[in-house]
Amino acid sequence: MASQTITLGGGCFWCTEAVYVRVKGVLDVESGYCNGHIQRPQYEQVCSGTTGHVEVVQLVFDPAVISLAQLLEIFFVIHDPTTLNRQGNDVGTQYRSGIYAQDAAQLAEVTAWLEAARQDSTWRSPVVTEAVLRDNYWPAEDYHQDYFEQHPNQGYCAFVVGPKVEKFQKTFAQFAKD
């Protein structure tokens, strides 16, 4: 089976990227921006909240090794799908929770998975994750790629990203790369 792509917005892309680079079957992870209204947005523009973009990671994965449902399961553990336009101290529409599908068939699969998640009693508050087709995607600047790997002791990385990586490794050890 050929590789597939899914794009996820779960707050700061440094956190999400740092987890998914450690997942078996994930072949590539790229931080970027999507679903905004300008071309080639820059980080400062996206952070202003005026472009409509969301910080995302684009995952290329091998569905013979890890399923889309398993990737989404991880996603719902490493971020809070119940907070509208925020993750922790990161506030704004650019930090919204979203699953951005590549095509209508994938969107149908994501929508069904998300509907089941919304029925799950795990969540104390309603799940607000949006599920739409990916649009207007742009890679983030080079200095954002593999940020945690390059700056593990930087404050945000040590106190925010690191704990999310540890949570993934404890909760989903079976999916961690060797």
**Alpha-carbon gap, residue 64 to 55, rounded angstroms:** 27
Q: Are strands 97-101 and 130-133 parallel, antiparallel or unpaired?
A: parallel
Query: What is the per-residue pLDDT for 20?
Result: 98
The whole-model pTM stands at 0.95
Asked if the model's pLDDT at residue 69 lies above 90, the reply is yes
Is 12 a catalytic site residue?
yes
Active-site residue (options: 12, 15, 34, 157): 12
d(C-alpha 112, C-alpha 170), whole Å: 27
Q: Please give the pLDDT value at position 178.
A: 84
